[in-house]
Amino acid sequence: MRALEGITILDLTHMLSGPYGTMLLADMGARTIKIEPPGRGEGTRRLLENDPHYSHAGMGAYSLTLGRNKQSVAIDLKTPSGLDLFYQLVTKADVVASNFGSGVTERLGIDHETLTGINPRIITSTITGFGETGPSPNRPAFDLVAQGMGGGMTITGHPGEPLRAGIPIGDLGGGLFSVIGILSALQARERTGKGQHVDISMFDCQLSLLNYMATMYFMSGQQTEPNGNGHFVHVPYNTFRTKTRHVIVAILTDNFWGNLVELLKDPELEGDLFLTQPGRLANKDFIEARVQAAFEQETCEYWLEVLSERRIPSAPVNDFDHAFCDPQAIARNMRIDVKLNDGTVIGQPGNPVKLSDTYEDRYTAPSSVGQDTMYVLGEMLGIPAEKLAEMKVAGIIG
């Protein structure tokens, strides 16, 4: 059994932020039905669809991952009959998720005000660049725009040049907060009996993720400068080259520092000046240069072993191969295999949410466009096969 079994989501999302959020909900058991246009389907399907390395049978890595555990129903919402079918599905659903640009749901007639008139218990969720209120609801945004507007790029990388996060945290942050909003609305519905609208702004999400660093700014008026892989408080807290891979050392307490000095046996680091954090911070460049000189004499594997023996916080800087082959990742099922419809097996990241009782790893292949249309409309709405066949010929469904 999975935690969200019994919850039905109509998934109108595309690209990354919305599909990532609904993928997580689908992983946890929500019946997630992609509603997409007949023919070529929604836009995510175009991403890498013909790439020789990152596609399979005309489906790119985006759709292969974000479409798992979802069904696909192809309906033309721009036709009166197609919109009526969607409204019928809304009466059977719990959530309608989308990430269209501002105003699109109103133009299509699938906004919260319309849908709550059809089903007062429906929860709608939208992810947009800047939310649905304020002076900028119509401003378009993608991941880089959100990262840049949200302040995080000014504290990433090295001084003098803003740098975006390698992980598309602008998009993924919107997806993550949409899941929190949807689950909160489902819980509130248990008390009130009514659905509500979840309005997620990618810009808001990036501001929230600044967290204590934003509070530091409000208290001091001073902008935190980028520190590369280092830290603006703790020293040494950085990545260091070795004979093989880079290794991370994170000294957060004076006790950790003492253990590191004992390990390195460097007289230059043994002075009283470095015993506490203020002294280490004032001499950051000197300390990290001495640590670097020591670390490059041995391999990453050597340092991980001796650092672990002294319980000094450390880690390798993993590439994807090392990350997904790590015994911890394997033990927690974070490297999964998904069997596609033609029998091909591809690897993907697993679900990081681990529940003790209502958690079952189950990953079904992403559906092709409209693969489940006839089954879902017949099963959920009771429409006879002959009528569905007529709708298909008319182009209402696909």
Which residues carry out catalysis? 231
| C-beta of residue 157 within 8 angstroms of C-beta of residue 166 | no
The burial of 62, by beta-carbon neighbours within 10 Å (0-12 exposed, 13-18 middle, 19 or more buried), is given as: buried
Please report, for residues 62, 89, 382, the alpha-carbon distance to residue 379 in angstroms, rounded to integers and kept in the order given.
Answer: 29, 11, 6
Q: CA 91 to CA 195: how far, in whole Å?
A: 12
| Residue 107: both structure tokens together | 């133009």
| C-beta of residue 65 within 8 angstroms of C-beta of residue 57 | no
Cβ neighbours, 10 Å, residue 322: 13
Side-chain-facing half-sphere of 237: CA atoms under 13 Å: 16
Q: CA 170 to CA 130: how far, in whole Å?
A: 12
Query: What is the helix (H) or strand (E) element at residue 376, kind and residue range?
Result: helix 373-381
Mapping DSSP onto H, E and C, the string for 242-257 reads CCCCCEEEECCCHHHH
Q: CA 166 to CA 172: how far, in whole Å?
A: 12
Q: CA 281 to CA 285: how far, in whole Å?
A: 9
Q: CA 182 to CA 191: how far, in whole Å?
A: 15
